[in-house]
Structure 1
Amino acid sequence: MLKTIQKIFFLGAFGLLISATVSGSHSYRFRVYLKDKGNTGYSIDRPEEFLSKEALERRAQRKVAVTSSDIPISESYIDSLSSTGAEPVAQSKWMSTVVMNSPDSLVVDKLKALSFVDSVKWVWKGEADYPKNLEPDTSKFYPSDLPVANYYGQADSQISMLNGVKLHQAGFRGQGMHIAVIDAGFQNVNRISVFDSLRLLGTKNIVSPGQSVYESDDHGTKVLSCMAANSPGVMVGTAPDASYWLIKSEDNRSEFPVEEDYWVAAVEFADSVGVDVITSSLGYFMFDTEDSVYSQCSLDGKTALISKAASMAADKGILLFSSAGNEGASSWGKITFPGDADEIVTVGAVTDDKKKSTFSSIGFTADYRVKPDVVALGSGCSVVDASGNITYANGTSFATPILAGLSVCLWQAVPELTPKEMIDTLQRAGHISSHPDAELGYGLPDLYKAYKSQCKHVSER
């Protein structure tokens, strides 16, 4: 399976799929929609009681107001949900949802009976226990590639295509900017030499709290390398001096709608630690059962839980980059969720001759907005794999961080821009900005041109 990570969703009537009781070590998870968040005692007039210093600083910098959506769900509600015998595993204060886990499917009736519960949906069935961490290995991985004369090494073409070298030479390499990478796992990032200078802010495993993000999947490793690799002559990424949070939201064991809930929790965590930018190369659209809730008609930015949360992140002053998806040659064809969200940057993929990569998903949205917004190299991208070696990979998964990293550098250069203004700037810098289409959006942006344009605007103010 190619990872943008393409997910297939099913939110159908769980009564048709779940047996009355559970045997063995299986568990079920239910998304509980709340009527409200309860009486928490918090007030938006005292945001320091429920928002971190970092989150408040970003809101102040971006002139974003604290609203009732920022207030957490009442602990009394969580306690009442837990009194049914189910265990809370994820929650969203923005969406007013809680995911509850139980080995007994009949707990759903108890959940639905609570006065503050609006509705309940089945979102997961699987093994009750997560695999334990392996013993940490401290051995190092060094690339087999010998350094070349070019400073950027194997990544030169994907940076040059966006005119990012000049932006770096102007002194903007992401210093002081905080990026959250939401992905499936970051295998061996802590052991690979090209990440020795990684400015790591922290890690978070949403799927299995307390477990390492450095095991089992290297999709996030490859994604991160497009931005954070810093080995001159071998590979240098698009934002080597930025600081990073590495967040795992993908459950590698299965493909269920609960992935949405994990992703939303990851985004809210990123907000809580005050990041400037989120880049996510995870895409979702349907589940391979007879029933499906999401269809192309749902690509309106307002239907899918994950898309609504993406737009909410934008409302909080976060610039969010999402891969368009790798469904261009499939029967689905279209962008995947949350790429349909408004006021985020949805990134498609092109070849080295600026033609759409065959696999790159297309727009428009169901309500006729231009998507993808922009594109970057997605065919034959240089990435670092779990062994620490440079390899080549295809996917909007990699076009997205390549562009996100240079956009971070641009935002470092003109920090007064709002996320919406950043999106407008990227769109205007696209090579087909005067005639955007459903395949390339506004096209391949020239990041240095965008920088010079913004400098001119600033000087004229």
Structure 2
Amino acid sequence: MRVRGDRGVDVRDLSPASQYVQAVAATGARIRAASRWLNAVSVEADAAQRAAIADLPFVAGTRPVARTRRAAHDPPWTAESPTSAAFGVAETQLALLGVPALRECGLTGAGVVIGVQDSGFSLQHAAFAGLHVLAARDFVQGDDVVADEPGDGEGQDRHGTMVLSLLAGDDGDLYSGAAPGVSVILAKTERIDEEEPYEEDLYVEGLEWIEGMGADLFTASLGYFSGTSTRNTTARPRSCRRRRWWRSPTASSCSPPTATRGPSRAR
């Protein structure tokens, strides 16, 4: 995220070298996403294409795009919440975070830029009437529409809208988010009608885009209720088995590929 002051630019701000990306694409693999921070690309490739990518002299290694599993649970909640003139029905949740004390000190979201990444956002509610949206991008369908649109699952933008309201909603004495007055950058990176490994690609693209747009902070309230452990490749869906990251330790430079293979990527 953005550092207030003059941070400058370093190698992590540079994209993987275009000639490396082109060489990977020349194997017939389909490039899904490229990452500056990981110095890598994500691709769809069959067995022969994966072997060809692994043999490229600048590729440090390949691995499946990660996937995880989280058990479903129902958090406790009460149907009725106390209200106040300052925070409306959000009184209890904001008190748990210590927000009322911050408001008494005159602190709000004014002057802060926060990136929000989720399944989509509907901005038609009155609580978003004064919301300052600096930029919005749909990485699922490749456009700038972050609300529901043809091709989305039913209710696609519902979760992101609720998360955004917790942060930036402001509906007078009926409801208040934690940081009214904040400016936001919105990234739609998740589908709700399927859970596939390519969503990790979209997450990486969205996060790097938000950082590049100058956000001070970033939030993503995302989790997955089903999936396949990366330890068991035999149970991995075909779409997951075909995806691989490649990484070059010098992919951010403009030098041509060399015959030296870099160390395997580990994290």
- TM-score, reference length from structure 2: 0.69
Which residue of 218, 243, 257 maps to 2:197? Answer: 257
Identify which of 212, 216, 219 aligns with 2:145: 212
Find the counterpart in structure 1 of residue 249 from structure 2.
none
1:182 aligns with 2:117: yes
Q: Determine the structure 1 residue equivalent to 2:26.
A: 83
* Counterpart AA for 1:261: D
Residues 210 and 86 (structure 1), Cα distance of their counterparts in 2 relative to 1, 3 Å cut: farther
Say whether 1:108 aligns with 2:50. yes
**CA shift in 2, pair 1:201/1:164, >3 Å:** same
1:285, distance to aligned residue in structure 2 (A):
9.4
- Cα gap change, 1:190 to 1:290, in 2 (>3 Å): closer
Which runs of 5 or more residues in structure 2 are unaligned?
Answer: 67-82, 149-155, 234-244, 246-266
Instruction: Please name the residue that 2:164 is paired with.
Output: 224
Q: Does 1:244 align with 2:184?
A: yes
Q: Deviations over 1:278-297 (max 9, x none)?
A: 0111246983369448xxxx
Provide closer, same or farther for how the CA distance between residues 76 and 240 of structure 1 changes in structure 2, counting only shifts above 3 A: same
Partners of 1:111 and 1:290 lie apart in 2 by 20
- What's the counterpart of residue 9 of structure 2? 66
Distance change >3 Å, CA 76–CA 222, structure 1 → 2: same
Aligned to 1:194: 127
- State whether residues 81 and 111 of structure 1, in contact with CA within 8 Å, keep that contact through their aligned partners in structure 2: yes
List per-residue Cα deviations over 1:97-155 (Å, max 9, x = no partner).
101246x564323322322222333449xxxxxxxxxxxxxxxxxxxxxxx76231110
| 2:103 counterpart (128, 144, 168) | 168
Quote the Cα distance in structure 2 between the aligned partners of 1:190 and 1:292: 41
Report the RMSD for the aligned CA atoms in angstroms.
2.9
* Pairwise CA distance, 1:225: 0.6
**How many residues end up aligned between the 2 structures?**
212
Check 1:291–1:197 CA distance in 2 against 1; reply closer, same or farther (3 A cut). Answer: same
Distance 1:105 1:204, change over 3 A: farther
How far residue 218 of structure 1 moved from its aligned partner, in angstroms, is 1.2
Q: Which amino acid aligns with 2:56?
A: L
Correspondence for 1:387: none
- Give 2:248's aligned residue: none
> In structure 2, how many angstroms separate the alpha carbons of the residues matched to 1:60 and 1:240?
21
- Note if contact 1:59-1:65 (Cα within 8 Å) is conserved in structure 2: no
In 2, are the aligned partners of 1:90 and 1:99 still within 8 Å (CA)? Answer: yes
Unaligned runs of 5+ in 1: 1-54, 125-147, 294-304, 306-340, 342-461
1:28 aligned partner: none
Query: What letter matches 1:254 in structure 2?
Result: E
Deviations 1:375-408 (A, max 9, x none): xxxxxxxxxxxxxxxxxxxxxxxxxxxxxxxxxx
Distance 1:60 1:222 in 2: 29
Decide whether the 8 Å contact of 1:286 with 1:292 is kept in 2. no
1:268 is aligned to 208
Does residue 117 (structure 1) correspond to residue 59 (structure 2)? The answer is yes
| Paired position in structure 1 for 2:77 | none
Retained in 2: the 8 A contact 1:150–1:156? no
SS across alignment from 2:179: coil
1:92·1:264 contact (CA, 8 Å) conserved in 2?
yes
* Aligned equivalent of 2:92: 157
The Cα of 1:90 is off from its aligned counterpart by 1.1
Return the alpha-carbon distance in structure 2 between the equivalents of residues 292 and 198 of structure 1. 45
* 8 Å CA contact 2:189, 2:206 repeated in 1: yes
Higher RCO (C-alpha under 8 Å, 6+ residues apart): 2
* Conserved? CA contact 1:179–1:276, under 8 Å: yes
Deviation of 1:262 (Å):
2.4
Query: Match for 1:150: what amino acid?
Result: A
Q: TM-score, normalised by structure 1?
A: 0.42
Taking a change above 3 Å as real, the CA distance of residues 211 and 202 of structure 1, as seen in their structure-2 partners, is closer
Q: Distance in 1 between matches of 2:38 and 2:206?
A: 13
Q: Classify 1:212/1:112 alpha carbon distance in 2 versus 1 (closer, same or farther; 3 Å).
A: same
- Cα distance change on mapping 1:241 and 1:205 into 2, 3 Å: same
Question: Residues of 2 paired with 1:172 and 1:239: CA distance?
Answer: 9
Distance 2:193 2:64 in 1: 17
